[in-house]
Amino acid sequence: MNTLFKTARLLGAVAVVGLGTSFAALAEKWDMPLAYSATNYHSENAAQFAKDVTDATGGKLEIVTHASGSLFKGGEIFRAVRTGQAPIGERLISALGNEDPIFEIDALPFLATSFGDAKKLYTASKPAMDEVLKVKGVKLLYAVPWPPQGLYTNKPVNSAADMKGLKFRAYNAATSRLAQLMGAVPTKIEAAELSQAFATGVAESMISSGSTGYDRKIWEHVKYWYDTQAWLPKNMVIVNLKSWDALDDATRGIIMEKAKAAEDRGWEKASSLADWYKGKLAENGMEVGPAGDALSADFRKIGDVMMKEWLERAGAKGQGVIDSYKKM
């Protein structure tokens, strides 16, 4: 009897261990690379999304964020997700212009200059982006804008002519082209390298949001920020399609639910922070104000040139998105 009891206990223990192993096998961990600092609202939003998914799946799918380019640098994240090195990640959409012109649409100067217009442009362009991303083996989960872009410089700028010869930090093909049309010298610099670039004179100017300037304490290197309201670029969170397809329907449903919440939360946060960031730049000694009439006129001319060039590259697909946007 004693022997039978011991045997039963042993079989029970084996069953529990086996059950535990089965649960462990079902659990999955996704590392999520982010390009921006952990305190940036995009990264905070992504961390909340990751926690929400992890909690809602009961740990069946754990998503762990890695901020500041610590896992993959900003320029490496899309490729990492596409090739499966990372199952999920976040990337600035307009930085992918070399993948397809459709990704540059939210960096066309003065096409969409408010949060309302930016949301309409996103709605108009999302089907085309989804189609391109699917071909490349990834899926869009959600996208969140940056505040309107402004011009940072280390000297007063009254017109585009004042930008001639300045080293200009570019973060995508559109900003590189903008620099060329102004007579500035474009230099590709990721967000994580920004402070060092300005500190060492590699960059002297850039167009970016108040958020970027605040995160990087840009007032330590430049004096002026012109609120040009040029465009509102977006970051998108994408997932590798093979990783996505390997999930069950319930888990995919949870992810999409939490992605929708993250998108809504992110748009609201970006809007609420826009003026706050401008105030912080001014508090730290920068001269913050609107662009003058001459500079605004120059930028609009440049925007017209860039739109024409973009439509030539984007073809009927790009024209279709523009037409849809203008009807909204």
Answer whether residue 201 shows pLDDT above 60: yes
Which run of H or of E encompasses 264? helix 249-283
> How big is the CA angle at 294 (ends 304 and 122), to the nearest 5 degrees?
40
Given a contact cutoff of 8 angstroms between Cβ atoms, the answer to whether 53 and 255 are in contact is yes
d(CA 119, CA 117): 5
Q: Which domain range does residue 273 map to?
A: 28-327
pLDDT band at 25 (very low <50, low <70, confident <90, very high): very low
Phi/psi at 133 (nearest 5 deg)?
Answer: -60, -40
Which CATH number goes with the domain that contains 302?
3.40.190.170
pTM comes to: 0.88
Answer whether residue 8 shows pLDDT above 90: no
Examine residue 129 and state whether it is found in any structural domain, yes or no. Answer: yes
d(CA 141, CA 286): 37
Examine residue 16 and state whether it is found in any structural domain, yes or no. Answer: no
Examine residue 158 and state whether it is found in any structural domain, yes or no. Answer: yes
100 Rama sector, left if φ>0, alpha if ψ -120 to 50, beta otherwise: beta
Which whole number is the average pLDDT over 290-300? 94
User: What whole-number percentage of the chain has pLDDT above 90?
Assistant: 90
Residue 292 CB neighbour total at 10 angstroms: 14
Examine residue 9 and state whether it is found in any structural domain, yes or no. Answer: no
d(CA 284, CA 274): 16
Q: Which of 254, 230, 260, 234 shows the shortest CA–CA distance to 54?
A: 254
Which whole number is the average pLDDT over 278-287? 97
> pLDDT per residue over 71-128, tens digit each?
999 999 999 999 999 999 999 999 999 999 999 999 999 999 999 999 999 999 999 9
Examine residue 198 and state whether it is found in any structural domain, yes or no. Answer: yes
Answer whether residue 307 shows pLDDT above 70: yes
DSSP helix/strand/coil, 83: coil
What's residue 26's pLDDT?
Answer: 63
Examine residue 56 and state whether it is found in any structural domain, yes or no. Answer: yes
Examine residue 272 and state whether it is found in any structural domain, yes or no. Answer: yes
Examine residue 6 and state whether it is found in any structural domain, yes or no. Answer: no
> pLDDT per residue over 184-193, tens digit each?
999 999 888 9
Which whole number is the average pLDDT over 208-213? 94
Domains in the chain, number: 1
Answer whether residue 2 shows pLDDT above 80: no
d(CA 202, CA 238): 31
Answer whether residue 160 shows pLDDT above 50: yes
pLDDT band at 51 (very low <50, low <70, confident <90, very high): very high
Answer whether residue 20 shows pLDDT above 70: no
Neighbour-count burial of 298, counting CB atoms closer than 10 A to its CB (0-12 exposed, 13-18 middle, 19+ buried) = buried
| Mean pLDDT taken over the chain | 92
Which whole number is the average pLDDT over 147-151? 95
